[in-house]
Amino acid sequence: MLFFLYSVSLLSSCRKDTFIDSNYPPNYQNVSTAKVKNYINRIYIDLLGREPLKIEMERDLIALQTDSLSISSRLVLINSLQTDTTFREGDTSYQYAYYNRLYETLKARLIEGVEDDYIYEQLGISLTDLSAAQSSGDSFQIARISDDIEEFYKVLSLKAELRLGNIDIADAHRIMLDNYVYETINMNTFNFVNSTFDNLLFRFPTAQESTIGFNMIEYNMSGNILGMNGNSRGDYLEILTQSTAFREGVLIWTFLSLLQRDPTDSEVFIFMNEFGAKINYESLQRTIMSGDEYAQFN
Report pLDDT digits (tens) over 163-175.
Answer: 999 999 999 999 9
Give residue 48's pLDDT.
Answer: 98
Tell me if residue 119 falls in helix, strand or coil: helix
Give residue 5's pLDDT.
Answer: 41
Q: How far is Cα 97 from Cα 47, in angstroms, rounded to an integer?
A: 8
Q: At what angle do helices 116-136 and 139-156 cross, to 10 degrees?
A: 160
Q: How far is Cα 156 from Cα 107, in angstroms, rounded to an integer?
A: 11
What average pLDDT does the chain have?
92
pLDDT band with cut points at 50, 70 and 90 for residue 24: low
Percent of the chain residues topping a pLDDT of 90 = 88
Number of helices (H) and strands (E) in the chain: give both, helices first.
Answer: 17, 2
In the chain, domain spans: 2-83+282-295, 102-185
For the segment 186-192, the average pLDDT, to the nearest whole number, is: 96
Give residue 14's pLDDT.
Answer: 40
Report pLDDT digits (tens) over 96-126.
Answer: 999 999 999 999 999 999 999 999 999 999 9
Please state the pTM of the whole predicted model: 0.90
Tell me if residue 228 falls in helix, strand or coil: strand
Report pLDDT digits (tens) over 240-264.
Answer: 999 999 999 999 999 999 999 999 9
Give residue 217's pLDDT.
Answer: 97
pLDDT band with cut points at 50, 70 and 90 for residue 25: low
In the predicted structure, residue 9 carries a pLDDT above the cut 60: no
Give residue 41's pLDDT.
Answer: 98
